[in-house]
Structure 1
Amino acid sequence: MLKIKHFFLVIFVLIFINCSKDEPVDSQETKPLVSAIDIGNSELPYIKIKTISSVLNEPKIAGEMEIYINQKRVLNSTIGIEYRGSTSYRISDKKSFGIETRDASGKGKDVSILGFPAEEDWILTGDVFQAPNTIFDRTLMYHYLGYELFRNMGNYSSRSKFVEVELNGVYIGIYVLMEKLKRGPDRINIESLIAADTDAAKITGGYILKIDKTSGSDVLGTHPLSYYDTNWDDDCRYTEFNSFRSNYDINRNRIAFPAYGAPYHSNKYLETYFVYDYPKAETINAAQKAYIKNYVNDFETALLTDNFSTNTRTYTNYIDRKSFIDFFIINELAGNIDGYRLSTYMHKARGGKLKMGPIWDLNIGYGTGGRVPVNDWIINYNNYVTNDAWMVPFWWKRLMEDPQFRSELKSRWTELRTNTLSTPKVLELTTNTSNYLTNNNAIIRNYTKWTGINYNYNNSVTELKTYLTNRLAWMDSKIASF
């Protein structure tokens, strides 16, 4: 009897390993799609995910991911999967996921997905949907369009593709598969910085900082899932461990009150915190913390003290001004209400200057986010919202006071408007993207799943095109006077 049990145990292990391949499937092994919903001849990649238990906010649980193109399997990988996001996690019925591709032993493994450079960290982003009919991005294109335009401007942005997703046998609609922002040669290309690095030359880079909330799977995520359904304080729990504070408030005054106050304290709106993204808070050492904090402080001080009536600038010793200009342009074109104050990335290579970007999280924008009129700059957010926990830092209004910055911005805008950001080019990208989703009937499947109706998608696309046309023209009129 023991030998028989041993025999069946060996057979089970062999079957499990064979079904948990972490490499793309060879074309000779292609497997036809058996899906939870009839997708016809859709060209959108179809992702099937199976997990060993319910998905959590933290930690990632084990599972398997298969990807099909034209109904034939092109990839089969063991994965870890978790929910991601902070506010969007709490309020959205259509949640986003963080995915790690793994080998059979459960260790992270770099895998090329849908032609993207091989890596192990990926995101499936769903549009924020709250029953019965609250939808932040009715076109499903906000992220994708912004990322494509920013990349077309010559910058790195997360490579992204539309997919349809099935989770544990249930169809959950259109998602955008995208690269997670992280350090790496094919992502944010800065040098590795480890805990043992204290040499003065080495600790000049690389760093990735965020102006952002402190909750979500990338920052905290150590509590049971139910904790995050109602807890909002952790969005605003800044500590010496995870961040450092600007020496200056949003009104350009030096801050006199202590840093790291209680979440949502009465003066929080005045503060700007920089969250450690790379190196992570768990690994960044004291010398590295001191270096990057002092660097940002020196930049801010130079920006405030430079005399813009002269030709001399010292703040440009600290920042790559072109990256700030491109970041400004894409946030303003997208009308990104969270721009500059949330989901805002910056990075610094070794021996290099601080750069803004990559662009991230554009789901509250394109004229639908409110708070700032469509005929004003998003950098003027503080004029309309007086006591948000996350306000726009003083950097942007101060930069716009600099004639040199405005002149360089005008030249860059004029260059981009002749090609990459010409109105026909922007509208062509919008049309081609919406046609791809509608011609493959993915829009019908997505909205039937989440609203139960055949949603009038064309109206939303028309509204988006109208917004883009008007916003480009408005930016033309404003920048022409610089």
Structure 2
Amino acid sequence: MGITARGLFKTRTLFFLIAAFILMTACEPLETDPDDPGDDPTVPVAFQVYEIDIKVDGNAPVISKENEDYLSCSITVDGKGILDDYQGTGRIRGRGNSSWLWYDKKPYRIKLDEKQELLGLRGNSDWVLLANYRDPTDLMNVFGFEVADWLGLPFTNHTRFVEVTLNGSYIGLYQLTEQVEQGNNRVAVDGIDGLLLCLDVDDGPDYSPDAGDNFWSPVFQMPVCVKFPIELTADQLYGIRSDFARLENAVNSYNYDSVAALLDIPSFINYLIIQELVYNVEIDAPRSTFIHKDLGGKYTMGPVWDFDAGFDFDWGSMYTGHNFFNQQELVLGTDPANHRNGYRISNFFTQMFRNHQFVSEYKSRWNEVKDSIFDHAWEVMEEYEYTLRDAMARDFQKWPIDRSYTTEISRMKGWLSNRVSYLTTVIGNYPAGTVETVMVDCGTITCDVSMSYKTGYHQEATVNVDDSTLLSKLGITGEQLYSTDLVIVPLKTDGSAGINNTNGLFGGWFEGDNNPGFWSKGHVYIEIMDNRTAWNCGLRAGEGFCQVGDQHRVRMQYQYTKGTETRTVTVVVNFTVVPL
């Protein structure tokens, strides 16, 4: 039976009332995904290219990235009729480390005078314009963000691509994103008792000794900068350092339950998967490695940041080059716990691979995501590639490089696709991890070595450990000495294991207090390559470092593990610095 005129009127009236109700309720503020295009799939807001015009007062050039050198400016944002425009005032300065120092196309930090939503991104006063000059695809950071968000890492940044005009001059295509900081619309940890840390050598005590917001982590000697709380007393800094040491000690013990009580292990696994997927070597330094902790919560990895040092970047051309996607290399290696065939990253990131349950969960997570992790993210990258094409061409005219962005995007796709297959084999063959072992002290060997002050790094002298004595003490054969069951670790003065920051398979840079640490503060080093009983050594000469007559007593330890027993032999090396 058809609808009568009266029935049609009633239907239209009902439709009108429903529509009016929807419109009225739509006025209520809702927490939405800033990248969600809403009901209109033809308006993918995240993929559009917008415009920002910045005019510095007096047309002053932006020549510094220091906080005290912020310059007042006016800012106009063109939402292209898709998102709201913005006009306001604020301040601008440079930002970044290598990206600011090495490249002509500069990145910037913007601080609005009032908190404001920009291009659909939730309101705040602090914003970042990434130049992405090193990256010939303009997609490396956005790819990292997309994978992190898909894996479920919290507080992952969003992206809006913008073409920027500064003081009337077009300066290219930029990536507008959130500043990583504590805040309701940023890293939303508690405003009083929340914690945001960054493991970063540039912000750590070595390069920023007077900052008052950083420390060397007690166990793994990582540079840690406290990003929140912002205003710190010495007692607060000490308390944060002590609390982080609890986590480090748990990780160092690789006891799963102890670590799980303090660290969100799924976030840790997801974080490492991302770093290995894109071959991001920044965790070696480390740089830009954020960790947060909410009131009453656990340490959680993230947000992720800074991916243009990944994708097998050629560091030999780092000042001028854009050379990526060359080989399939590894950050964690084929045996992460023992740093085999990978970077010598801190044991903070690898020690848990000694635990069977952790390795099992890591492999399980990779098997869960491997079939989609690339395909999902690359579908998003293809959307960006399509909408960025014209803007990329204009950016290339402004900042010409020796690469074609279309070719490099194709190479990026091929490299990532191949990498998933490569990592599936590598991760599948990770050693299964072990149960905790009993340490059995099998004795000590002492070696006295004179090193030439004049020769410095390149000594003819070596540390020679007597083979027969060593094998007898450990109760092993010469073949077992070179097996994967044996490692050689640098020891701290308290007897705990330190870190290897040399280029050797094993070794250590020992600082003035004879503890293994970093090259920048190192006095003497031991570097073990192919020969496990004849070790290279050297010293750093000069004011504040080694002088003629100095003596250093340092220790390395052989550790041979079978089953639940680890036999150890400690080698005490007495270095004396002589003139020639």
| Residue number in structure 1 paired with 2:313 | 368
Query: 8 Å contact 1:125–1:176 — kept in the other structure?
Result: yes
Residue in structure 2 matching 1:65, options 54, 75, 94: 75
Measure the CA separation in 2 of the matches of 1:304 and 1:138: 39
**DSSP-derived class of the 1:313 partner:** helix
Matched, 1:117 2:122: yes
Q: CA deviation at 1:368?
A: 2.2
Write out per-residue CA displacement over residues 97-123 of structure 1, whole angstroms, 9 at most, x where no aligned residue: 000111xxxxxx110001011111000
Corresponding position of 2:484: none
The 8 Å contact of residues 319 and 355 in structure 1, kept in 2 or not, is answered as: yes
Tell me which amino acid in the other structure corresponds to 1:236. Answer: Y
Q: Which secondary structure does the structure 1 equivalent of 2:49 belong to?
A: coil
Question: AA paired with 1:54?
Answer: P
SS at match of 1:172: strand
Q: Which amino acid aligns with 2:352?
A: L
Question: Which segments of 5 or more consecutive residues in structure 1 lack a partner in the other structure?
Answer: 1-41, 103-108, 129-135, 194-204, 220-233, 250-270
Letter in 1 for 2:146: E
| TM-score normalised per structure 2 | 0.59
- Taking only the aligned residue pairs, the percentage that are identical comes to 26
Quote the offset at 1:445 in angstroms: 0.3
Query: How many Å separate the matches in 2 of 1:474 and 1:335?
Result: 12
Match 2:196 to one of 169, 192, 208 = 208
Compute the displacement of 1:374 (Å): 4.5
Secondary structure of 1:342 counterpart: coil
Q: For residues 452 and 184 of structure 1, do their structure 2 counterparts lie closer, same or farther at Cα, with a shift above 3 Å needed?
A: closer
When residues 237 and 424 of structure 1 are mapped into structure 2, their CA distance, relative to the original with a 3 A threshold, is: closer
Shift of 1:351: 1.1
Change (3 A) 1:116 1:71: closer
Matched, 1:466 2:414: yes
8 Å contact kept, 1:295–1:318: no
Q: Indicate the residue corresponding to 1:142 in structure 2.
A: 140
CA contact (8 A) 1:46 1:163 kept: yes
Q: Quick check: 1:332 aligned with 2:276? A: yes
Q: Which amino acid aligns with 2:123?
A: A
In 1, are the aligned partners of 2:332 and 2:342 still within 8 Å (CA)? no
Alpha-carbon distance, 1:160 to partner: 1.1
CA distance in 2, matches of 1:301, 1:183: 26
Q: Is the 8 A contact 1:430 1:465 kept in 2?
A: no
Map 1:3-402 → 2, pairs under 5 A: 43-52=48-57, 53-55=60-62, 56-58=64-66, 59-70=69-80, 74-102=85-113, 109-128=114-133, 136-155=134-153, 156-193=155-192, 205-214=193-202, 236-238=207-209, 241-249=212-220, 271-280=221-230, 283-306=231-254, 313-339=257-283, 341-369=286-314, 374-380=327-333, 392-402=345-355
For residues 452 and 314 of structure 1, what CA distance do their matches in structure 2 show? 50
Task: Report the CA distance shift for 1:472/1:418 in structure 2 as closer, same or farther (over 3 A).
Answer: closer
RMSD: 2.7
Q: Is the 8 A contact 2:254 2:355 kept in 1?
A: no
| Residue 322 of structure 1, CA deviation | 0.8
For the residues of structure 2 that align with 1:324 and 1:360, how far apart are their CA atoms? 15
Amino acid at match of 2:65: N
Q: Which protein shows a greater Rg?
A: 2
Deviations 1:348-381 (A, max 9, x none): 1111111111100111111224599954431359
Aligned to 2:460: none
Identify which range, 162-171 or 206-215, moves more after superposition: 206-215
Compute the displacement of 1:405 (Å): 1.3
**Counterparts in 2 of 1:238 and 1:373: CA distance versus 1, 3 Å:** farther
SS at match of 1:238: coil
- C-alpha change, 1:171 and 1:373, in structure 2 (3 Å) is closer
Summarize the Cα distance change of 1:339–1:373 in structure 2 as closer, same or farther, 3 Å threshold: farther
Q: For the structure 1 residues 342 and 86, does the alpha-carbon distance in structure 2 shift closer, same or farther, using more than 3 Å as the test?
A: same
Letter in 2 for 1:478: V
Q: CA deviation at 1:472?
A: 1.1
**Larger RCO: Structure 1 or Structure 2 (Cα < 8 Å, ≥ 6 residues apart)?**
1
8 Å CA contact retained: 2:312, 2:328: no
How far residue 473 of structure 1 moved from its aligned partner, in angstroms, is 1.1
Report the residue type matching 1:90 in the other structure. Answer: L
Aligned residues: 364
Asked if the contact 2:198–2:224 (Cα under 8 Å) also holds between the matched residues in 1, the reply is yes
**What letter matches 2:332 in structure 1?**
I
Equivalence for 2:382 = 431
Contact 1:213 1:236 in 2 (8 A): yes
Deviation digits for residues 33-61 of structure 1 (CA, Å, limit 9, x no counterpart): xxxxxxxxx95101111001222323211
Equivalent AA in structure 2 for residue 361 of structure 1: D
Deviations 1:253-306 (Å, cap 9, x if unpaired)? xxxxxxxxxxxxxxxxxx4111111112xx112342232211211222222234
The alpha-carbon deviation at position 467 of structure 1 amounts to 1.0
8 Å CA contact 1:334, 1:365 repeated in 2 = yes
Cα contact 1:126–1:176 (8 A) shared by 2: yes
**Whole-angstrom distance in 2 between the partners of 1:452 and 1:368:** 15
Supply the AA of the counterpart residue of 2:228: Y
How far is 1:235 from its partner?
7.0
- 1:69-124 CA-to-partner distances (Å, cap 9, x unmatched) read 3379811111110000122211011110000111xxxxxx1100010111110000
Report if the CA contact (8 A) 2:92-2:110 is conserved. yes
Q: Secondary structure at the match of 2:240?
A: helix
**In structure 2, C-alpha distance between the alignment counterparts of 1:125 and 1:376, rounded to whole Å:** 26
8 A contact 1:142–1:363 mirrored in 2? yes
Question: Which amino acid in 2 is paired with 1:143?
Answer: N
